[in-house]
């Protein structure tokens, strides 16, 4: 099942309430991440019969499996995953799969729709790639040059496409501290998706991303409208979004989000790399 704007509400309800069954551990993740399924309700046909829908694959990140970090409060990464989905949805940048905070076999954690086939032999393609240094393909923007362990010089580039630019806007709003290239993929239909938003929404400036192709360029008109709409949705502690974020994030981080929106609108352009913080995560891809 691939999420669509019309199906998001149903998927959120399913993620929140359906039985969650573990399949296995996702190796290579810095925190405990588990492949799981949720049971989809039977589908009735016109004759009154019904066929069971195949189970929906999800990624389950229990809070108890979060590795302590020096700069993020313990036990908050799952909440940041969910907050990022809610903010992206409100911003109108639908690249984050539906995500909820719920109880599971290993306790409370974030549960997010898995995009693609978890058992496929090949990974989904990313809009971020390595090319020989300076050999930027048509339709791509350069980010940074570097040298591989074998001595080859390469350039990190990303697609020059509207949805990738939307992702760069989202990173600026979320203060995303870990936007690696592998955290962005395109599904079989070409739709862009973004994952791993646990290291977001810190009160201190920590933007670290591979999406620097538009650094310093003016906001698009649509960007400004989206930022204003999100600021309005956060105008006061009693709005629906504010109330939801209050249950997911420290109050200082929610306050910083409001202040960041004001600053982004005032500066009028996409952020530029900071000299006080590493601008690109490691590894970049």
Q: Is residue 53 included in any domain, yes or no?
A: yes
Strand (E) or helix (H) holding 154: strand 153-159
Neighbours of 194 (CB within 10 A): 25
37: containing domain: 1-122
In a domain, 84, yes or no: yes
Q: What is the mean pLDDT of residues 68-96?
A: 96
Average pLDDT over residues 148-158: 93
Average pLDDT in the chain? 92
* Gap between the Cα atoms of 112 and 100, Å rounded: 7
Helix H segments across the chain? 8-17, 77-91, 162-174, 221-233, 240-246, 251-267
Residue 52 domain-assigned (yes or no): yes
Output the pLDDT for position 42. 57
Cβ 131 vs Cβ 154: under 8 Å: yes
pLDDT at site 266: 97
- pLDDT of 132 higher than 70: yes
pLDDT for residue 45: 46
Report yes or no: 263 and 255 within 8 Å, Cβ to Cβ: no
> What dihedral angle (degrees, nearest 10) is formed by the CA atoms of 221, 222, 227, 232?
100
Percent of the chain exceeding pLDDT 70 equals: 93
Q: How far apart are CA 251 and CA 234, in angstroms?
A: 13
Which pLDDT band, with edges at 50, 70 and 90, does 221 fall under? very high
The tens digit of pLDDT for each residue in 41-54 reads 655 444 444 455 67
Token pair listed for 228: 């204003």
Residue 213 domain-assigned? Answer: no
Specify the residue for token string 């990173």: 171
Mean pLDDT score, 193-219:
97
Q: What's the farthest any 2 CA atoms get from each other in the chain?
A: 66
As a whole number of angstroms, the distance between CA 24 and CA 136 comes to 39
For residues 224 and 191, the answer to whether their CB atoms sit within 8 Å is no
Using an 8 Å Cβ cutoff, are 133 and 80 in contact?
A: no
Kind of pairing between the strands at 153-159 and 184-186: unpaired
Residue 110, Cβ density class (10 Å: 0-12 exposed, 13-18 middle, ≥19 buried)? buried
Report if residue 272 sits inside a domain. Answer: no
**CA-CA distance, 247 to 126, in Å (whole number)?**
33
Measured in residues, the chain has a length of 285
Peptide bond preceding 225 in cis form (omega within 30 of 0): no
Bridge partner residues of 253 (DSSP): none
pLDDT at 103 over 70: yes
Radius of gyration of the CA atoms of the chain, in A: 19
pLDDT of 22 reads 96
pLDDT at 201 over 90: yes
Q: Is residue 48 one of the residues assigned to a domain?
A: yes
The pLDDT score that the predictor gives to residue 275 is 85
Q: What is the arithmetic mean of pLDDT over 121-143?
A: 94
Taking the C-alpha atoms of residue 207 and residue 82, their distance in angstroms, rounded to an integer, is: 19
The answer to whether position 204 is within a domain reads no
Q: How many domains does the chain have?
A: 1
pTM of the model: 0.92
Quote the pLDDT of residue 51.
Answer: 53
Confidence bin at 274 (pLDDT 50/70/90)? confident
Evaluate the CA torsion angle 141, 143, 147, 149 in order and state its sign.
Answer: negative
Kindly state the average pLDDT of the residues 71-76. Answer: 94
Is residue 146 situated within a structural domain? no
């Amino acid at each position: 099942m691939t999420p669509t704007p019309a199906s998001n509400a149903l998927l959120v309800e399913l993620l929140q309430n359906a039985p969650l069954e573990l399949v296995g551990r996702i190796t290579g993740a810095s925190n405990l991440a588990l492949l799981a399924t949720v049971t989809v309700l039977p589908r009735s046909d016109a004759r009154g019969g019904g066929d069971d829908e195949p189970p929906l694959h999800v990624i389950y990140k229990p809070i108890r499996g979060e590795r302590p970090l020096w700069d993020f409060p313990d036990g908050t990464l799952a909440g940041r995953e969910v907050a990022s989905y809610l903010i992206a949805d409100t911003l109108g940048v639908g690249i984050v799969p539906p995500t909820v905070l719920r109880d599971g076999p290993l306790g409370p954690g974030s549960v997010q729709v898995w995009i693609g086939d978890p058992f496929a032999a090949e990974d989904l393609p990313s809009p971020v790639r390595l090319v020989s240094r300076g050999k930027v393909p048509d339709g791509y923007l350069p980010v940074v040059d570097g040298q591989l362990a074998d001595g080859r010089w390469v350039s990190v580039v990303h697609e020059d496409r509207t949805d990738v630019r939307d992702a760069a806007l989202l990173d600026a709003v979320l203060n995303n501290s870990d936007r690696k290239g592998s955290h962005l993929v395109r599904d079989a239909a070409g739709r862009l998706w973004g994952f791993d938003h646990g290291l977001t929404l810190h009160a201190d400036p920590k933007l670290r991303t591979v999406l620097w192709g538009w650094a310093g360029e003016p906001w698009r008109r649509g960007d400004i409208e989206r930022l204003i709409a999100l600021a309005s949705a956060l105008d006061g502690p009693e709005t629906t979004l504010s109330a939801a974020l209050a249950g997911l994030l420290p109050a200082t981080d929610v306050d910083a989000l409001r202040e960041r929106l004001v600053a982004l609108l005032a500066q009028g352009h996409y952020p530029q790399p900071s000299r006080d913080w590493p601008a690109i995560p490691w590894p970049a891809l």
